[in-house]
Chain A
Amino acid sequence: MTDRTYRAAPSGALRIEPLGELTAIFDRRSMQTHLVVSPMPEILEAVGAAPCSAALLVSRLAATFDLAAADDVQPVLAERLGELTAMGLVERA
């Protein structure tokens, strides 16, 4: 499977408010509220404006999470990126 690339929503499109165990995200474009849990907020932050693949995301998130112990991180992150795309919070690059 090709490693698809994604980019973050345009600057200012999302209002992200951590609320304890949940993070509430207001999308100013769709006026929708999304509720997510970790690692979704961390992924959103790590994707960035430039095209980012799941492989690149693994290396970025390695700074925050202990990913060395997990073997199959990349497909899991690819799946999460697909979910964030479906929610409209990241875009295919």
Chain B
Amino acid sequence: MRHRIRIAVGPVQFRIGSDWAEPIAALERLYARYPQDDARPADATVRLFAARPWRRWLRPSVHIGGDFIVPDALPLPLSMGLLAAEMGMNLQVALGWRRHMLLHASAVAKDGRAMIMSGESGSGKSTLAALLGEGDWRLMGDEFTLIDPEGGDAFAFPRAVSLKNEAIAEVAARVDPSRLGPLLAGTPKGDIRHLIPRPEAVAAMHEPARPALLLFPRFGGETAIEPMGEGEAFVRLTEASTNYVALGEAGFAALTRLVREVPAFGISYPDSAAGIALVEQLWAETAR
């Protein structure tokens, strides 16, 4: 393709091609400080392309392709090309990655131990991870956490954090503006702005961390902590994993071990400050 970039996020080497320069330029800026190893073979390919040649210029419309495609996915306008690239990267990992069990979860680490937060979009898992990552935690990822089926360790996938709606102002108030991407207003997912993780988090992205606490956050409502049994945590994580079925018995073994070894809680919180306090309290009291 005309415009290309390679990006390594955790263990995944992406090859991204685009019919337009803009999405690649935006990625170059967000991932400028990520380690570069262009000789490494790509694990995942993302293509941003125009359905017809003239659509490169006339009402440019970005289709997302690659090793795996979602039929009937709607194209995005070129102004949202960066979002298209991010969606493409997520899609290729979610559908293609087999080396680890993939959890749709954010994660942060401290002293070699990981706290994994799994929840639907809007649960606040991404915002909590971003805010903790600005404190004394290492951000491992805001979207996916990888679990090694053999040893049970968690591996980071620290792509640029996708801040949404209210989280944008909350995080922007605490970080240097040079760490923020452009504001993508009115996307299908609301307003989006990317946050470049701290350099320490990027430098440590290949370091595994031992899962020590599993949280299932829910944004809104009174502050509450609910211990979760192994069975329920197992069910929720099978639903949160994009490749559990594909991994077969290795996935089953990894997940049963994870829920047995790691304490799990459902938490509710009315705002980020309460959420952070709750998380720090649980970490101090229960993390193994």
Assess the A28–B231 pair: CB atoms within 8 A: no
- Give every chain A residue within 8 A of B245 (Cβ-Cβ): 31
Chain A nearest Cβ from B176, distance in angstroms: 45
The digit string for B253-271, where 1 denotes a CB below 8 A from any CB of A, is: 1001001100000000000
- Give every chain B residue within 8 A of A26 (Cβ-Cβ): 249, 252
Question: Counting CB contacts under 8 A, is B188 at the interface?
Answer: no
Assess the B248–A24 pair: CB atoms within 8 A: no
Bound Cα distance A15, B248 (Å) = 12
The digit string for B201-233, where 1 denotes a CB below 8 A from any CB of A, is: 000000000000000000000000000011110
From the candidates A15, A19, A33, name the one contacting B230 in the complex (CB within 8 A): A19
Look across to chain B and name the residue whose beta carbon is closest to the beta carbon of A17.
B256
Question: Counting CB contacts under 8 A, is A93 at the interface?
Answer: no
From the candidates B249, B259, B260, name the one contacting A15 in the complex (CB within 8 A): B249
Look across to chain B and name the residue whose beta carbon is closest to the beta carbon of A22.
B231
Chain B binding surface, main DSSP class: helix
Assess the A28–B249 pair: CB atoms within 8 A: yes
Assess the A24–B234 pair: CB atoms within 8 A: yes
Assess the B235–A20 pair: CB atoms within 8 A: no
Look across to chain A and name the residue whose beta carbon is closest to the beta carbon of B245.
A31
The digit string for B235-254, where 1 denotes a CB below 8 A from any CB of A, is: 10010000011001100110
Chain B nearest Cβ from A23, distance in angstroms: 8
Bound Cα distance A28, B252 (Å) = 11
- Give every chain B residue within 8 A of A23 (Cβ-Cβ): 231
Chain B nearest Cβ from A21, distance in angstroms: 5
Look across to chain A and name the residue whose beta carbon is closest to the beta carbon of B248.
A31
Known contacts A24-B256, A33-B238; A19 and B249 CB within 8 A of each other: no
Bound Cα distance A79, B259 (Å) = 31
Assess the B231–A33 pair: CB atoms within 8 A: no
Bound Cα distance A22, B230 (Å) = 8
- Give every chain A residue within 8 A of B253 (Cβ-Cβ): 15
Question: Counting CB contacts under 8 A, is A87 at the interface?
Answer: no
Assess the B252–A24 pair: CB atoms within 8 A: yes
- Give every chain B residue within 8 A of A33 (Cβ-Cβ): 238, 244, 252
Task: Give me the interface of A with B, judged by CB distance under 8 Å.
Answer: 15, 17, 19-24, 26, 28, 31, 33, 35
- 5 example contacts (A-B, Cβ-Cβ < 8 A) are as follows A15-B253, A19-B260, A20-B229, A23-B231, A35-B234
